[in-house]
A = this chain, B = another copy of it.
Amino acid sequence: MITLKKRVSEKTIRRLSHYARCLRYSGTQGRNIITSRDLADTCKISSAAVRKDLASYGEFGKQGSGYDVNRLLENIEKILGTDNPPPVIVIGAGNIGRALIKSGLEGSGGYSYSAVFDCDSSKTGLMCAGLKIRSMTELKEIIDELGEVIAIITVPSGVGQEAVDLLVKAGCNALLSFTLEPLDVPEGVNLRFIEVFTELDILTHSMRKKSRKRK
């Protein structure tokens, strides 16, 4: 049974997602039992961290042997809610938006794209990997139909806040943005960022630091 013991950090949630990925892979490799050390090694963390993370939701392991792969995966998916993943919609049918849709969500554990939107009327009506590009005016209607959705925002810089406001108004409270502009959302709406440029900066910093040392 899943029994939450105390407040769990986002770091733990992120790692649970990693564990799920490893377990899906282990499952396809025919493994039935996995130890905290195995999970730790593939995720490049300590085995104690793995055990702590899992133990904060219940006792999923068997002492002396380890964790049953299928049972643990089911439990983690229940914890994350990914046993019944929400539909994903994409806002912006530009380069990135279309590429994401064409790439699909295979291997993600059950997510799939349910709709694409763009405010450019020269794009609406066109198809992208089987999905019709819809006008932003249809947003609320479609979200009402789909229920709770996650929206991935891939609009150009400058209109991000506008897109966010429309989404929030349409009842969406889970957003993932590829834009680099700072965005505001009301309390209770979860907004996350994919920060490609920041990742580049971090890489630049570490390589410059390294070459400085070498001198």
Contact = CB atoms under 8 A, between A and B. Distances in A.
A10 B106 CA distance: 31
A85 interface: yes
A81 interface: yes
Given A17-B198, A99-B95, A197-B17, A157 B203 contact: no
A interface: dominant SS: helix
A83 to B, nearest CB: 10
Interface in A49-100: 79-82, 85-86, 88, 94-96, 98-100
Copies assembled:
2
A92 B205 CA distance: 24
A42 interface: yes
Nearest to A208: B81
Contact of A205 (B79, B105, B199): B79
Interface residues of A, number: 65
Nearest to A78: B208
A182 B148 contact: no
Contact of A180 (B16, B21, B148, B174): B21
Contacts of A211: 148
A182 B209 CA distance: 26
B148 A207 contact: yes
Given A81-B208, A103-B94, A194-B196, A203 B180 contact: no
Given A82-B205, A109-B201, 4 more contacts: A81-B204, A192-B199, A192-B203, A194-B194
A108 interface: yes
B203 A150 contact: yes
Residue picked from A18, A148, A176, A200, most chain B C-beta under 10 Å: A200
B190 A206 contact: yes
A105 B96 CA distance: 13
